[in-house]
Amino acid sequence: MAEDAQQRWPCEECGADLRYVPGQTELRCDHCGHVQAIPEAPQARTRALGELDLDQALRHDLPAANIEETRSTPCPSCGALVEFSGATHATECPFCGTPVAIGTGSHRQIKPQALIPFALDEETARSAMTKWLGKLWFAPGGLVEYARKGRAMSGIYVPYWTFDAATRSRYHGQRGDYYYETRTVTVNVNGKSEQREEQVRHTRWTPVTGWVSRVFDDVLVLASQSLPRSHTDALAPWDLSALTAYN
């Protein structure tokens, strides 16, 4: 899912727009060089990353604070879900560059609780893409040409659900324990018969039953069909310790 909204912060020194540098916790002014910490919303300072009750969500009974209204539409070319904000009604699909427009309708969905900030700036990302294209012998000509035009790269967030569960499962079955018996066998050694003893393994089966308790924390489940599963699997694992509250 892509969103075209941008949060702007004025420089405390000269009033120009500050620029976010991916991977940093500061904003930088390209006009005067001033650097200042990224301001946090008051509620973000105090609340922990929220976790929602699954049963309550399935009943569509979550508190209003956990729900937001969004406007989105599928890209007519690649099918990716493009999200709009504010009064914007037209943009480009961040996946394929196709112009996308939307009407005035909206829908309600669960509000994101946290995100992992971008770690690469545009220059680093473009350099990596150029090196990757240079290794492709049969890359489509349109792809190479598109990259050479120097068009701005758009970062996107890939949505995931995270699930926690405390489970207690009952099991029943058969337990197999090895035991050995000694037996005498006749073998042929240099044309002569000899008797030898050998150990033979058997399995003794007994019925068993019991309970197993296990806790699962932050099991990730992809919440988008915009990217092939093979691509998102290649990006894993995500550093969930870097999560910050969504605002």
The token duo for 29 is 């002014």
Answer for the pair 154, 125: CB distance below 8 angstroms, yes or no: no
Question: What pLDDT is attached to residue 132?
Answer: 85
Amino acid at 130: T
Question: What pLDDT is attached to residue 177?
Answer: 96
User: Mean pLDDT in runs of 10 for the chain (247 residues)?
Assistant: 54 77 72 75 50 86 83 83 78 83 75 87 84 80 71 82 94 96 88 89 96 93 85 89 83
DSSP 125-180: HHHHHHHHHHT-TT--HHHHHHHHTTPPP---PPPEEEEEEEEEEEEEEEEEEEEE
Question: What pLDDT is attached to residue 192?
Answer: 87
Question: What pLDDT is attached to residue 179?
Answer: 96
Burial of 167: CB neighbours in 10 Å, binned 0-12, 13-18, 19+: exposed
Question: What pLDDT is attached to residue 83?
Answer: 81
Distance, in Å, from the CA atom of 26 to the CA atom of 35, rounded to the nearest integer, reads 7
The token duo for 171 is 């099991």
The residues, ordered by sequence, that sit 6+ positions from 112 with a Cβ below 8 Å of its Cβ are 159, 246
Q: What is the pTM assigned to this prediction? A: 0.61
Answer for the pair 78, 93: CB distance below 8 angstroms, yes or no: yes
Helices (H) and strands (E) in the chain, counts: 5, 13
Shortest CA distance to 231 belongs to which of 154, 165, 156? 156
Q: What is the CA radius of gyration of the chain?
A: 30
Answer for the pair 81, 224: CB distance below 8 angstroms, yes or no: yes
Distance, in Å, from the CA atom of 206 to the CA atom of 88, rounded to the nearest integer, reads 68
Burial of 18: CB neighbours in 10 Å, binned 0-12, 13-18, 19+: buried
CA distances for 40 relative to 47, 113, 122, 127, 157, angstroms: 12, 15, 24, 31, 20
64: helix, strand or coil: helix
The token duo for 54 is 């699954």
